[in-house]
Structure 1
Amino acid sequence: MMTDNRAKSEFLAAMSHDLRTPLNAILGFADILTHQYFGPINDKYQEYADDIQSSGHHLLTLVNEILDLSTIEAGKQSLDKEKLSTMEFITECQRIVEDKARARGIDLLTKVPKDLPPLYADKRASKQILLNLLSNAVKFTPQGGKITVSAEASKKNTTLKIADTGKGIPANKLPKLTDPFTRVGGDPYLAEPGWGLGLTITKSLVDLHDGTLDIKSIVGKGTTVTVTLPNAA
């Protein structure tokens, strides 16, 4: 069984690599059309170019998720741990999602002490963890809602909490959330665009840091995701 899983992961990784090359070419040409580098185009063609670019970026995100998951499952994901400023790391991730939150009329709040100790974590992986959780919160929080990022530190770990005022998830659905491809089944509580790999990857990256991930949710009130990551010694 382990050999079969490794073969599957290696196949998915190879497939993802092969898909990225033509996708990047499509996105490159769409960008040329969108910005009209070789001359003006009419409004209808501009609309087509925008659609190509938007759909291409969405597909590239899915391909990258498959590649990330297959790399982790194949045991090839390595971490380059270093001291990271917790405050800078959180602020940087918030800046990336704040425009999308603002466009949806969602308040993005921070309750983070300035004297938090540094993390001992892989910079890329830790950013991916928090960005995945913030992006999910924005996706599932309705207009006029609120997302709060808070943090507190103990001697060994820092605990991050991302709390939203979204629609919430029934208790019997929570165990499925970190399983891969959870959205394929058409569950109305998981029915968002994508293949449901974001939380699977997030949980795997947290595990690689010897951290923890916990999800609590109340239907009609919202969801809180709690992550612990190690502090630098």
Structure 2
Amino acid sequence: MTLPGGRGGMVLTVNKRFTRMFAVSEQRAQGLVLEDLLELMTLPEDVRAELRIAWLTVPVSAPETQRGSFQWIGTDGMPLEMEWYSAPVYEGEQVLGRIYTFHDVTAERTAMRMRARFLSGVSHELRTPLTSIKGFAEFILEQYRDQLPDMAREYVEIIHAQASHLNNTFRDIIDLSRADAGELRLKKTDAHLVDIIIDAVAGMEMRFKERQQRVIMDINDDLPPVYVDVDRIMQTINNLLSNANKYSPEKGRIVISTKAIYSAEALPPSAPPDVTLPAIMVTIIDEGKGLSPEEAVQVFQPFYRAEEVRKAKIEGAGLGLAVTRGIVEMHRGKIWAEPRAAGGGGVFRFTLPISSAALENGK
């Protein structure tokens, strides 16, 4: 635990588990400022640099919570995977200090990786014959569409559509299992979220036109950059826009907006308590029936489908939002849905931390 004083706060105490993990004795740690303690901890330099940025940019008295993870070699020479969490400690309404907790998740991550490899292997084996089925259906439609009897053409179109649907389902299963296991490789770079949003909306233009839906972009061109895998964030926005397109009525309106969030007070009341700040928040609002409070909590679970969706027999496996959550959380962001208000409509929000480089440069 740290108290106000010095850069990052003054260390009040550490427990025995911490001393074993990071080879810093309790006597040596007590009274140090957090910046100096970080220098003493047995950590890879890249991890130390990342923690320095995360911990020292948030004042001890700030109400924000933080979380993250890192890999390293423990004092016993074994590879470890660690999750950390930082939160304010209150007395009444006053923040007294901050507590930092570390959780060894090596066993859990190992089990997840084994499951991911199994699911990935099975999905790849199934996708191989499926690709052939889809390819032959495409060939028949391209070469002989006009020569086929109406019923035969309709059957081939069904085969092609269902093969495409199954192919997307297997892709989502692979992505989900890899994200859960921490094996979804990200190629991060500083990027402007507004550009990604504009490209995503443009790519779905025909789908919106088919349903005569209007997309309104309320976005700020002056937002600071985020450090992300552009393709994966594009996938995230595509999934959310696809949901809005699917569940909104024809001639409906879809609004996508952005906002820079620098303090917990600027977050909406529906936000989770552990959003990493400062961040960019993206909101997508549609005119569908929306979600009940229970559905808003469960909608990001794999294979979950809301009651109204099942009744309407809308196509889908219930994997898209689960994959989306995995991608956002791998970027240290948060995603959530808001229960429908009196007027109905779906509301989805997600955050992505502002680039560390932008923070260091004061942008």
Same fold (TM over 0.5): yes
State how far apart, in whole Å, the 1-side matches of 2:161 and 2:204 are. Answer: 17
The alpha-carbon deviation at position 153 of structure 1 amounts to 2.2
1:178 corresponds to which letter in structure 2?
F
Deviations 1:203-226 (CA, angstroms, capped at 9, x unpaired): 111111011112113165111111
Report how many residues are paired: 230
State how far apart, in whole Å, the 1-side matches of 2:255 and 2:219 are. Answer: 10
Identity of aligned residues (%): 33
Match of 2:266 in 1: none
Sort the Cα spacing of 1:188 and 1:154 in 2 relative to 1 into closer, same or farther, 3 A.
closer
The alpha-carbon deviation at position 102 of structure 1 amounts to 1.9
| Aligned partner of residue 199 in structure 1, secondary structure | helix
Sort the Cα spacing of 1:144 and 1:217 in 2 relative to 1 into closer, same or farther, 3 A.
farther
1:182 corresponds to which letter in structure 2?
Y
| Aligned partner of residue 190 in structure 2, secondary structure | strand
Match of 1:217 in 2: 339
State how far apart, in whole Å, the 1-side matches of 2:111 and 2:258 are. Answer: 40
Match of 2:195 in 1: 88
Structure 2 regions of 5+ residues with no counterpart?
1-106, 263-277, 358-363
The alpha-carbon deviation at position 46 of structure 1 amounts to 2.5
The alpha-carbon deviation at position 114 of structure 1 amounts to 2.3
State how far apart, in whole Å, the 1-side matches of 2:215 and 2:209 are. Answer: 8
State how far apart, in whole Å, the 2-side matches of 1:114 and 1:160 are. Answer: 13
Match of 1:61 in 2: 168
Higher relative contact order (CA 8 A, sep 6+): 1
Paired residues for 1:33-182 under 5 Å: 33-36=140-143, 40-154=147-261, 156-182=278-304
2:308 pairs with 1:189: yes
2:330 corresponds to which letter in structure 1?
L
Flag the structure with higher helix content: 1
Deviations 1:26-74 (CA, angstroms, capped at 9, x unpaired): 1111111111179943433322222211111111111111111111123
State how far apart, in whole Å, the 2-side matches of 1:88 and 1:34 are. Answer: 36
Q: Which has the larger radius of gyration?
A: 2
Match of 2:129 in 1: 22
Match of 2:87 in 1: none
Contact 2:218 2:257 in 1 (8 A): yes
2:128 pairs with 1:9: no
State how far apart, in whole Å, the 2-side matches of 1:132 and 1:87 are. Answer: 16
| Aligned partner of residue 203 in structure 1, secondary structure | helix
The alpha-carbon deviation at position 117 of structure 1 amounts to 2.6
TM-score, scaled to structure 1: 0.89
1:180 corresponds to which letter in structure 2?
P
Contact 1:83 1:120 in 2 (8 A): yes
2:192 corresponds to which letter in structure 1?
S
State how far apart, in whole Å, the 2-side matches of 1:96 and 1:39 are. Answer: 29
State how far apart, in whole Å, the 2-side matches of 1:68 and 1:56 are. Answer: 18
1:113 corresponds to which letter in structure 2?
N
Q: Which moved more, 1:215-224 or 1:88-97?
A: 215-224
